[in-house]
Structures are given as structure tokens and as C-alpha cells.
Amino acid sequence: MPDKPRDDSAPDTAPAQRPAPPDGERIAKVMARAGLCSRRDAEAWIEAGRVAVNGSVITSPALDVTRKDRITVDGEPLPAAERTRLFLYHKPVGLVTTSFDPEGRPTIFDSLPEDLPRLISIGRLDISTEGLLLLTNDGGLARQLELPATGWLRRYRVRAHGAVDQRALDALKNGLEVDGIQYGPIEATLDRSQGANVWITIGIREGKNREVRNVLDTLGLQVNRLIRVSYGPFQLGELLDGDIEEVRTRVLREQLGERLAEEAGCDFSGPITPRAPSEEERRERAARGARGTPGPRGDTRSQRGTRDRDDRRPTGRER
């Protein structure tokens, strides 16, 4: 990760937070824009009584607020909103994609540097899946990129036990139903056989829970390694597992395009605020204990870097 992301589009002056329109915005949307959580999580927090507006606890997200309103979450003021930022993270096997795991398993957020902004994940990768995970400080952007209607292609490299031919994989282009769940068209290419395993490149646009594993299971294939190598135009590239890299503001704006950025409500002119972890976050980290980020087989980063390059062969830019 670079020592410090280049601020290539910062204005000379910037407001401390984004102004709300005169008639206000839904409170869950404002919370998501602040990067504290997704809009869905914000609604759940409100219903749980964790959010107050002007000193009064609210329990319904059906409330519009303006910049004059004072919003607190668990008694703490809502963080000032930064500009929209996006990070590419190489999630290792063994971490769960959540901010808190009731089973006490290590999470992706345990392993991130402490000086990063509050981040939320765009979609999820399950504990046994590795590869590219997009992280952002903007809940509106996270929601927009998760929507099936956005249609960004998520591409995976898959190693599976069993045998299959290209004709069977081509049939997935029509979509299929598995255990009552309908999956959309799937792009699948047989790359090579390796002993009792096959390597397949798969492209999907919906990303339903365990979609790749469930679909390949219908072909008699048991997935034993799953690596996401791209999400829309963003590539895993040469990131080693556990590494994180920020997408520059100019590149992010170009890759999103004007329409998508507007629909997500992105702000590319706000400030980037240096951040130290709060006392609450420090206590949470201490309580969880120091956790490393071991590689998929407990090997070293240098060994993994050499071994994994062929397994996650780069693909072209795509949406």
C-alpha cells in the first residue's frame, strides 16, 4: 500500500461535511454517506434504538434530516463525511466479511491498517473465498455497486475437484435454478485440467450467496479454491493477500462514469481527513486480541506471491 494516497483532485478549500438539500434526506442515507455503515445497517441500528436526532432516540428510519440536525450513534456524533473513496483489498482465506463476528472468528476489519477511514465492504466474500474485495467509505456507492441492475461483472478463478467439458459450461449461459434459487446467465471457460482438478474462469453479474459453488455443484464439481480476480473494471492484479490499495480519485471518477456516480451520490470534492482509531475501536481490537493474516496454506507472503500469479491470471478491463 502506498505510504500516502496522492490527493490528485483536492480543492483548495472544502466544507467539513456535505450539505443536505433544504428539504432534507432520509437519515439512513445520511448515515451511509458518512461511511459509518450501509443504508440497510443504518435502518437496523435505528430500529434497535442506537440513533438519536437532536437528543431524542428514534426507532423508525422514516425521517428526513438536514445539516442543522445533530445525529448521534451510540452517543457519538455522526462522523463528518469525506470525499468518496474506494480501496482494493486482497481478502485472504480465513477472514469473515463483517465488522463483528458473534463466533469470534477474525474479520477483514481486524487486519486493516488503523489509519484508514471507516470502511464498509461492497458485497461479501465467504470465509473460504479469497481475492478482490472492494471497500469504500461511502454507503451510497456500496449500495449502488451491489445492485444487480448495475450489472458489473465479477470474475473468479475456480479450482474444482471433478471433470467437466466446455459444452456443459456453455449451458450456464442460459442461467439455471438450484434448490429454488434462480441464477442468471453465467460465463464459464474451462482453462485446464490438473490431476483430479479442473481450473475454470467464471463471470457472474449477480453475486448471490455461494453462487459459484452451488452452480458448479450441479455439474458434479466440488470447489476447493475460489479466487475473485475482478469486480467490474477493478482488478486484483499483483496485490498479495492481506494487501490494500486505494484507487485514485480521478481513476474512480472515470471508471464509475457520470451516470453511476450521480446515482450513487458520490462526492469527489470533499476533504480527506487524517484519522486515528477511536478509543472504542482500540478497545475492541484489544479485546479481540492481536490477529495476523496467514496465507491460504500458512506459507509466507513471498512464497504466496510467486505461486498465486498463475492461479489468478489477470483478465482485461471489463464491466
Please identify every residue annotated as catalytic.
126
CA distances to 1, 25, 87, 210, 262 from 247, in Å: 11, 28, 6, 27, 18
Q: What distance lies between CA 206 and its chain's CA centroid? A: 14
Transcribe 173-227 into DSSP letters.
GG-EEETTEEE---EEEEEEEETTEEEEEEEESS--TTHHHHHHHTTT-EEEEEE
Residue 175 has phi, psi (to 5 degrees) of 75, 170
Rounded to whole angstroms, the Cα distance separating 34 from 247 reads 19
DSSP state of 57: E
Residue 152: name the closest of 165, 142, 162, 163 by CA: 142
Q: Cell 435502518 identifies what position? A: 43
10 Å Cβ neighbour count for 221? 23
Q: Which residue has the cell 456443459?
A: 168
**109 residue type, one letter:** F
